[in-house]
């Protein structure tokens, strides 16, 4: 087993994913940073090892993790940045967050749950062999504060909220199981704040400038919090300040 810590970023071409890669490299703590994405980034970084999965499905996710497991790498940090708020689904239909009950439709809900819940769940399952071991491993999933059931004061965004709440429940449930069979693994559900990326672009009008963060800032914030996290206290549901969010 190669004992030098390595890091893996999943969903690496997105605004926050890219920033994590840069910050993980800048910190100099990792011997290698790996990146999973559906496409090669426009400006690939030479020192990053890219794993391109054109279509994310159970088979391809398992194959990627099995390949990594064969290298016997000790991953100490994994950050999954997969998520969607507005998009087009596979039939080309526009996905927009619902404002009222009448906006709910099955295809849109399926898309939100597929990207925000099911794909992260498949990674959660497939990652175990590459994080389980003697070393402490932090596995972070980008969630959102709106996935908090008890914090929901505003309503709206049914599919996005519900799919992130479901992601949170998966993490809660998985941590209980991992505490029995992979005690070194610490799960984290992370709210990055409102970050200036393609995902938030159409919704930035009502955000005060000081509350609209750069992706670099939110990445730095999370990485500065990681050292204080312990597997036996997981799963954590944290915001960009390191404050606990009620589930």
Site residues for ligand NAP per CB under 6 A? 11-17, 37-38, 56, 81-84, 115, 119, 142, 144, 191-192, 194-195, 197-200
The nearer residue to ligand NAP, 57 or 105, going by C-beta atoms, is 57
Question: CB of residue 231 vs ligand NAP: minimum separation in angstroms?
Answer: 23
Question: CB of residue 170 vs ligand NAP: minimum separation in angstroms?
Answer: 14
Question: CB of residue 212 vs ligand NAP: minimum separation in angstroms?
Answer: 8
Q: How do beta strands 212-213 and 194-195 pair?
A: parallel
The nearer residue to ligand NAP, 182 or 192, going by C-beta atoms, is 192
The nearer residue to ligand NAP, 120 or 234, going by C-beta atoms, is 120
Question: CB of residue 4 vs ligand NAP: minimum separation in angstroms?
Answer: 25
72: its two tokens: 């016997």
The nearer residue to ligand NAP, 13 or 221, going by C-beta atoms, is 13
The nearer residue to ligand NAP, 186 or 199, going by C-beta atoms, is 199
β-sheet bridge partners, residue 70:
none
For the chain, give the longest Cα–Cα distance: 54
Question: CB of residue 226 vs ligand NAP: minimum separation in angstroms?
Answer: 17
The beta-carbon contacts of 130-133 under 8 Å, at least 24 apart in sequence, are: 130/8, 130/65, 130/68, 130/69, 130/73, 130/75, 130/78, 131/75, 131/78, 131/182, 131/184, 131/185, 132/181, 132/182, 132/184, 132/185, 133/1, 133/74, 133/184
Question: CB of residue 169 vs ligand NAP: minimum separation in angstroms?
Answer: 16
Asked if 87 and 97 touch (Cβ cutoff 8 Å), the reply is: no
The strand ranges marked E within the chain are 2-10, 32-37, 48-52, 73-80, 87-88, 94-95, 137-142, 185-191, 194-195, 212-213, 236-239
The nearer residue to ligand NAP, 56 or 108, going by C-beta atoms, is 56
Distances (CA, A) of 96 to 85, 86, 117: 7, 5, 17
């Amino acid at each position: 087993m190669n004992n030098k810590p390595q890091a893996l970023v999943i969903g690496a071409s997105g605004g926050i994913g890219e920033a994590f890669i840069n910050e993980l490299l800048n910190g100099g703590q990792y011997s290698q940073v790996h990146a999973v994405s559906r496409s090669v980034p426009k400006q690939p970084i030479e020192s990053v090892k890219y794993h391109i999965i054109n279509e994310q499905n159970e088979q391809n996710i398992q194959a990627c993790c099995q390949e990594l497991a064969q290298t016997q790498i000790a991953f100490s940090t994994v950050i999954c940045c997969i998520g969607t708020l507005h998009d087009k689904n596979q039939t080309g239909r526009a996905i927009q967050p619902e404002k009222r009950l009448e906006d709910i439709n099955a295809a849109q809900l399926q898309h939100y749950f597929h990207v925000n819940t099911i794909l992260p769940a498949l990674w959660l399952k497939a990652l175990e062999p590459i994080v389980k071991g003697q070393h402490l491993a932090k596995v972070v999933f980008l969630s959102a504060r709106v996935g908090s059931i008890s914090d929901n004061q505003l309503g709206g965004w049914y599919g996005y909220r519900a799919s992130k709440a479901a992601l949170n429940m998966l993490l809660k449930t998985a941590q209980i199981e991992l505490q029995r069979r992979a005690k070194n693994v610490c799960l984290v559900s992370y709210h990055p704040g409102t970050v200036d990326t393609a995902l938030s672009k159409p919704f930035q009008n009502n955000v005060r400038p000081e509350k609209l963060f750069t992706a670099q800032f939110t990445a730095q914030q999370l990485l500065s919090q990681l050292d204080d996290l312990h597997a036996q206290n997981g799963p954590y549901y944290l915001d960009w300040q390191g404050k606990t969010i009620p589930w």
